[in-house]
Amino acid sequence: MKKFSAIRWLVAGVTGSFAFWYFQVLTTGVTITQFMGEQIVTEGGYPEVLVPFIGWGVHLAVSLSYALLFALIFAAIPLESAGGLLVAGVVLAGLLGWIATLLTAPAIAATISLLSGHGFPAELPALNTEVDLPLYNHLLFFGVVWVVTTLLPVWRGKI
């Protein structure tokens, strides 16, 4: 029974990142890829042509990191039954989605400051405790990660 797969992790991270981005396109039209790219380029004095590359680079790096975190925690869960694994994966996805939402504003501020060459900011924004689009989007992201790393492999008998 193999719970961790690098291929599933990569597919989950990339698929989740596109789902996250598309959710923003559909709901607000403002995307984290564009925002992060613009802020880092402006603050860092980098060429404007780098906006999409920086924005998508940061977004994919964060998405792959979150997907890896999910995959590693899930692999450590000492359950063998398919039903138990599915439920544990859903709980994990919900928990990580909530934690990611809490950390969104401080993480964005720190990332922009660090990547634009200003070092770690002296002050960070408050945690995001709102039940709104960022929470729904993070739950969507981790739901996609759960489907790719847990649901589909369980259905196929791979874990």
What's the pLDDT at 2?
67
Instruction: Examine residue 1 and state whether it is found in any structural domain, yes or no.
Output: no
Q: b vs e for 67-87, b when ≥16 Cβ sit within 10 Å of the residue's Cβ?
A: bbbbbeebeeeeeeeeeebbe
Residue ranges making up the domain that contains 144: 6-155
Any domain includes 36: yes
CA distance 90 to 94: 6
Q: How many domains does the chain have?
A: 1
Averages of pLDDT over each 10 residues, the chain, 159 residues: 86 98 97 98 98 98 98 93 95 98 98 98 97 98 97 91
Q: What is the pLDDT of residue 80?
A: 86
User: 121 in helix, strand or coil?
Assistant: coil
Nearest to 38 by CA among 27, 25, 52, 22: 52
Angle between the N-to-C axes of helices 82-115 and 32-44, in degrees from 0 to 180, rounded to the nearest 10: 30
- Cα–Cα distance measured from residue 111 to residue 63, given in angstroms and rounded to the nearest whole number: 14
| Full-model pTM | 0.95
96 in a domain, yes or no?
A: yes
